[in-house]
Amino acid sequence: MAISPNGVAAAVVFRDAHFEDYEGIASVQSRNGLTAKPLEEWKHLWIENPVYKKVSHWHDGWVAENADGKIVGYVGHVPLSYEFAGRQIIAACAHGLSIDAIHRGYGIHLLKRHLSDKYTDVVLTSTASPDSAPLLDVLCYRGPTGNWGQAAFWITNHHGFAASVLRTRRWPEWLSWPASAALTLWDRVASPLARLRTDGRSEIQICSSFDERFDTFWEELKRAYPERFLATRSREVLQWHFKYALARDSVWIVTAGDSHISAYAIFCRADNPAIGSTRVRLIDFQSLNRDSELLIPMLAWAFRRCQEEGIHMLEAFGFRPEKQQVIDSLRPYQRTLASWYYFYRTRDKALGQQLNDAALWDPSHFDADSTL
């Protein structure tokens, strides 16, 4: 690795990323604590992406190379689409941003290439980290609605949850038994979700994939909320977005209605292997009638399934106030996140001024890179 005489890393060269760079990109991600996707799944982000197929020009991302031609930094640039005020907005999210520590000062240049791409109307991220959030706070805007710095959750496996918490604090794991007993007793008294039953709730249906009903739902959703900035939720986009999660059985789809969908919720695994914590997160909830109450039986169903599978937690955060009010009415626990997760930036100043209005937003973990 080239080092200048004063001990500072030598300058790097930036260029467009290509599929042929996969080995070098996977290597820099692994060196910096990220899990690199297998080649086929990584290429899927673009090759089978419905938006990518339609745009005539696109940067797949950028890499930073040192003087020896070794890839020492990377940011992917994944195309997405949104609907707003009757028109399609081309958006993008970052994927796998990573740079070696000795070149960390050049990370801002990678990020700026992603944020200032001329083919993109809006750039979003929903997975900011403690390292990237301070920089994004300078270069971008925080999502104007939803609390992306605090998570609501319910415990669905008290012993497993207690053991993972004690592990983070390096306390003796035998304490997990009395701790879990106390938590179990408390939740029996204080948690409405733990007492809700879904037996006989005929309006709740479980789906194994996204069928043609989701196209009808998407068209109706656009008509129901023409004023909202909405990520495209066509059947084609949903199937592309969750293809590998569905194959791993790590995404759950719940709908209200039978032949016609009136609302749906998507849940996805979001484990933390570092502390042995297993977790399911509410990714998205949409309803045609502006009634968020159908979220309650859907959360109750997910709660029961988490219990049956021994998963430690069910989690939800980042939603519009009326959705978050339903979540909070079920008396979840709260945890402070390590950073604010959701940021955006627009290329067009007029669009940016419009999106300052929190009422136009309906954010979720379906946005950006959270579940890609």
Phi, psi of 366 (to 5 degrees): -75, -25
219 pLDDT higher than 90 = yes
Give the count of beta carbons closer than 10 Å to the beta carbon of residue 25: 25
7 pLDDT higher than 70 = no
CATH entry, 13-142, from 3.40.630.30, 1.10.10.1100, 3.40.50.300, 2.30.42.10: 3.40.630.30
Report the pLDDT averaged over residues 153-182: 88
Phi, psi of 236 (to 5 degrees): -60, -45
Give the count of beta carbons closer than 10 Å to the beta carbon of residue 13: 11
21 pLDDT higher than 80 = yes
Output the six-digit token pair for 242.
Answer: 């969750």
Q: For the segment 281-297, what is each residue's pLDDT rounded down to a tens digit?
A: 999 999 999 889 999 99
Give the count of beta carbons closer than 10 Å to the beta carbon of residue 144: 15
Report the pLDDT averaged over residues 56-60: 94
What pLDDT was estimated at residue 8? 45
Domain limits, CATH 3.40.630.30, in the chain: 13-142, 150-336
Spatial CB neighbours of 367, under 8 Å, sequence gap ≥ 6: 93, 124, 126, 231, 342
Spatial CB neighbours of 330, under 8 Å, sequence gap ≥ 6: 154, 191, 192, 193, 296, 299
204 pLDDT higher than 90 = no
Rounded Cα distance, 309 and 297, in Å: 18
What pLDDT was estimated at residue 198? 57
210 pLDDT higher than 70 = yes
Decide: 161 and 183 in contact? Cβ < 8 Å: yes
In this structure, which amino acid lies at residue 99?
I
202 pLDDT higher than 80 = no
Rounded Cα distance, 288 and 299, in Å: 18
Q: For the segment 93-106, what is each residue's pLDDT rounded down to a tens digit?
A: 999 999 999 998 89
What pLDDT was estimated at residue 3? 32
Q: How confident is residue 216, by pLDDT bands cut at 50, 70 and 90?
A: very high
Strands 251-256 and 204-207: antiparallel
Rounded Cα distance, 218 and 230, in Å: 10
Decide: 340 and 126 in contact? Cβ < 8 Å: no
In this structure, which amino acid lies at residue 142?
R
**What is the reported pTM?**
0.93
Decide: 71 and 64 in contact? Cβ < 8 Å: yes
Output the six-digit token pair for 297.
Answer: 């039986």
Q: What is the mean pLDDT of the chain?
A: 92
What pLDDT was estimated at residue 212? 96
DSSP string, 269-333: E--BGGGTB-EEEEEEEEETTS-GGGHHHHHHHHHHHHHHHT--EEEE-S--HHHHHHHHHT--E
Give the per-residue SS3 of 206-273: EECCCCCHHHHHHHHHHHHCCCCEEECCCHHHHHHHCHHHHHCCCEEEEEECCCCCCEEEEEEECCEH
Has domain 150-336 been given CATH number 3.40.630.30?
yes
H or E element at residue 111: helix 107-115
Question: Residue written as tokens 């994927």?
Answer: 95
